[in-house]
C-alpha cells in the first residue's frame, strides 16, 4: 500500500493538476495514515474527487436504470411513450371517401407529372358530393315507386329527370336502367267529346232528276 501511495505522491509532484492522480488518491481517502502524508491542498483535491466519483457512480447507476425504463417504454421505431392512434387523411378532411386511395389511383394513372397535396382531397370531396346527390334522388324515385331497395332503374330515373346530372351523364349508359317513359301524343287515343245519346244526322241520298 505504501509503495503505491509513494508512487502517487511522486506523480502528484510532477503534475499537480492531473485528474487521474487525484482520482487515485481518492482511493486512499479512507486511510488516516495516507491522509497524514498529504498537504491541505492535496486533501481538498482528494476529497473533491472522492465525492465526485461517488456522485458519478450514483448518476451512472440511475442513468442505466432510466435507460432500461426508457428502452422498455419506447415503441418499435424508438419513439417515446405509447404510439399515437393513426388518423387517416379522410378523417382530417372530414370526408367519407378514401383520400389515400384516390391519391394512389392518381399517382398510378400518371395523369400529370406532378400531383399537388390538395388535388386528391378536392377530388374525393367532389365524388362524395355527386354520390350523395345521386343516392338522394334515387332514394326518392324508389320511394315514389313504393320500393325499399334502390335499383338501377331508380338511378336512371333520378339522373335523367335532373337537368344538371342529365347533362353531366348524358353519354353514360346505366345497365338494366331502361329508358324514360315517353309515349308520343299521336299514339294516344283521342277523347270522344260527343255523348252516346246524341244522334248523328243521317246522310240523304241525292234526288233523281
Q: In sequence order, what are the residues at sequence separation of 6 or more whose Cβ sits closer than 8 angstroms to the Cβ of residue 93?
A: 99, 121, 124, 125
Band (78; pLDDT cuts 50, 70, 90): low
Band (122; pLDDT cuts 50, 70, 90): very high
Encode pLDDT of 126-150 as tens digits.
999 999 999 999 999 999 999 999 9
Least confident segment among 40-49, 57-66, 174-183: 57-66
Classify residue 176 as left (phi > 0), alpha (psi -120 to 50) or beta. Answer: left
Least confident segment among 18-22, 111-115, 151-155: 18-22
Q: What angle do CA 75, 80, 85 make, to 5 degrees?
A: 65
CB count, 10 Å around CB of 177?
A: 17
Largest CA distance in the chain: 178
Residue 141 located in a structural domain: yes
Residue 76 has a pLDDT of 54
Residue 207 located in a structural domain: no
Residue 209 has a pLDDT of 55
Most confidently predicted of 3-12, 55-64, 68-77, 81-90: 81-90
Residue 133 has a pLDDT of 96
Question: What domain count does the chain have?
Answer: 1
| pTM of structure | 0.51
Residue 120 located in a structural domain: yes
- pLDDT over 60 at 10, yes or no: no
Residue 83 has a pLDDT of 81
What is the domain range of residue 156?
A: 3-187
Please name the residue that has the C-alpha cell 482528494. Answer: 46
Residue 66 located in a structural domain: yes
Residue 203 located in a structural domain: no
Q: Residue 67 is part of a domain; what is its CATH number?
A: 1.10.20.10
Residue 40 located in a structural domain: yes
Residue 100 located in a structural domain: yes
**Bigger pLDDT: 80 or 14?**
80
Residue 63 located in a structural domain: yes
Amino acid at each position: 500500500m505504501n509503495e503505491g501511495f509513494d508512487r502517487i505522491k511522486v506523480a502528484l509532484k510532477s503534475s499537480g493538476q492531473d485528474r487521474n492522480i487525484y482520482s487515485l488518491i481518492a482511493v486512499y481517502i479512507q486511510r488516516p495514515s495516507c491522509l497524514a502524508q498529504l498537504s491541505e491542498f492535496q486533501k481538498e483535491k482528494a476529497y473533491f474527487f472522492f465525492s465526485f466519483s461517488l456522485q458519478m457512480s450514483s448518476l451512472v447507476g440511475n442513468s442505466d436504470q432510466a435507460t432500461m425504463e426508457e428502452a422498455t417504454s419506447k415503441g418499435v421505431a424508438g419513439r417515446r411513450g405509447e404510439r399515437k392512434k393513426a388518423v387517416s387523411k379522410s378523417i382530417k378532411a372530414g370526408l367519407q371517401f378514401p383520400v389515400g386511395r384516390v391519391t394512389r389511383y392518381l399517382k398510378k394513372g400518371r395523369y400529370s407529372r406532378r400531383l399537388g397535396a390538395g388535388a386528391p382531397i378536392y377530388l374525393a370531396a367532389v365524388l362524395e358530393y355527386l354520390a350523395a346527390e345521386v343516392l338522394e334522388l334515387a332514394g326518392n324515385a324508389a320511394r315514389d315507386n313504393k320500393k325499399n331497395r334502390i335499383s338501377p332503374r331508380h338511378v336512371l330515373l333520378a339522373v335523367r329527370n335532373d337537368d344538371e346530372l342529365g347533362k353531366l351523364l348524358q353519354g353514360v349508359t346505366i345497365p338494366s336502367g331502361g329508358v324514360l317513359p315517353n309515349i308520343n301524343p299521336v299514339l294516344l287515343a283521342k277523347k270522344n267529346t260527343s255523348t252516346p245519346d246524341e244522334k248523328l244526322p243521317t246522310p240523304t241520298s241525292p234526288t233523281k232528276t
